[in-house]
Amino acid sequence: MILLCITVLTAATSHQSEAQVTKATIISSHVLCKEENRYIGWPTIAKTGGGELLAVFSGDRDAHVCPWGKTELVRSADSGRTWSEPVTVNNTPLDDRDAGIIVTRPGTVIVSWFTSLAFDDPRYLRSYPADMTAAWKRHAGKLGPEIRDEWLGCWVRRSEDGGETWGDFIKIPVNAPHGPIELADGRLLYVGKTLWMNPKTLQVFESRDDGRSWRKIGEIPVAPGESIDHYHELHAVELGDGKLVTLIRYNPPERENNIMRQTESTDGGRTWTTPHSTGIWGYPPHLIRLRDGRVVVVYGHRREPYSERACVSYDGCMTWDTEHTVEIAPAINGDLGYPASVVMDDGSIYTVYYQIEKAGEKTCLMGTRWRLE
């Protein structure tokens, strides 16, 4: 067990006195799932009404790109101290990537992900050893145009028995790594980017029937002077007054400018403000609102010092305390991130992410329990 207390003096705002001090305590960090000589990536976590933790990810992979990725799920009945062996939720003929998960108030488990054919792209084939990609080429050769058209897309699936069995594959035009959120009024809101449609746009979908069907209700604009090509991997949170805030991975060629963008909606997701800078370097975002109203975003920091990080807003996301971010976990290199969090019953935060535990290994699923005082 790791116990580390980090104390920082936060920046003063109109909603926060200069004397306020933030104390972040790292309670424990550990491996949730490691698959020998296999690559794991891009997880999300959710908590059931009974307190069980469910984490999903893309596992059983050769590498960051490959044909074999499948959506896998692990669960914990003891607040994250121990975890089950992984079970497969999705294993389509294509590469199943970026797994998101939520548990709705009726108890439905909804998993989201997207499929990819990048393993058949010469640009990626050249990046990996020939003995590895030979199997990829054989697999790609078996995929006719009908299979490719049928399975390439963005998806959600529902489970009404706690993730034991799963319903139909539901296709939706948008994807974001951590999937939809549930709003106070019972709607599900999914803000994402159209991956396999042109022109690319940032669209907002809602479901009023617990994830069975989805309809577009809005679109997020692109800021003047910026490009939709640099906007990726969105996540939203609902504030106590019903305002919606979405953070966006901003990824222009100039790496120093990888600063997340933010947009807001005050009409339930139909219209959105022009995205603006948060000042937070890193990506992609996952947002939660704590019981006291503070908002926490976790994200990967893919430059030295490599780490999983968190940043806090005390004023309804009007400002972020970028000068005093919390390091959730250090990392060996930049193959890391996509953290996602849940609030535990005692008010602590459990964050899952992927990274390399030991030099020479492939990535694994890891978790940190921590507390923002």
Q: What would the pLDDT profile of 15-63 be if each residue is shown by its tens digit?
A: 444 434 567 899 999 999 999 999 999 999 999 999 999 999 999 999 9
Residue 256 within any structural domain of the chain: no
Q: What is the pLDDT of residue 219?
A: 98
Whether the predicted pLDDT of 116 surpasses 80: yes
Residue 359 makes CB contacts below 8 A (sequence gap 6+) with 332
Lowest mean pLDDT among 9-13, 53-57, 120-124: 9-13
For residue range 50-99, what is the model confidence (pLDDT) as tens digits? 999 999 999 999 999 999 999 999 999 999 999 999 999 999 999 999 99
Q: What is the maximum alpha-carbon separation in the chain? A: 64
Residue 6 within any structural domain of the chain: no
Q: What is the pLDDT of residue 72?
A: 98
Domain extent, residue 43, equals 35-153
Q: What is the pLDDT of residue 22?
A: 65
- Angle at the Cα of 3 from the Cα atoms of 363 and 76, rounded to 5 degrees: 55
Residue 199 within any structural domain of the chain: no
Q: What is the pLDDT of residue 9?
A: 34
User: What's the number of domains the chain is made of?
Assistant: 1
Mean pLDDT over residues 132-150, rounded? 97
Q: What is the pLDDT of residue 373?
A: 83
Residue 369 main-chain phi, psi, to 5 deg: -100, 130
Closest of 365, 278, 347 to residue 24, by C-alpha: 347
For residue range 253-291, what is the model confidence (pLDDT) as tens digits? 998 999 999 999 999 999 999 999 999 999 999 999 999
Q: 354 pLDDT band (50/70/90 cuts)?
A: very high
Residue 127: which CATH number?
Answer: 2.120.10.10
If DSSP codes are grouped into helix, strand and coil, which group holds residue 257? helix
pTM: 0.94
Residue 230 within any structural domain of the chain: no
In the chain, % of residues over pLDDT 90: 92
Q: What is the pLDDT of residue 10?
A: 38
Residue 354 within any structural domain of the chain: no
Q: What is the pLDDT of residue 18?
A: 47
| Number of other residues whose CB lies within 10 A of the CB of residue 49 | 11
Q: Are 163 and 206 in contact (CB under 8 A)?
A: no
Angstrom distance (rounded) from CA 43 to CA 371: 20
Q: Are 276 and 294 in contact (CB under 8 A)?
A: no
Please name every residue paired with 182 in a beta bridge, in sequence order, or none if there are none. Answer: 188
The residue count for the chain: 373
For residue range 184-208, what is the model confidence (pLDDT) as tens digits? 999 999 999 999 988 999 999 999 9
Residue 85 within any structural domain of the chain: yes
If DSSP codes are grouped into helix, strand and coil, which group holds residue 206? strand
Q: What is the pLDDT of residue 287?
A: 98
Q: What is the pLDDT of residue 11?
A: 38
Angstrom distance (rounded) from CA 354 to CA 334: 11
Whether the predicted pLDDT of 5 surpasses 80: no
Whether the predicted pLDDT of 1 surpasses 70: no
Residue 307 within any structural domain of the chain: no
Residue 11 within any structural domain of the chain: no
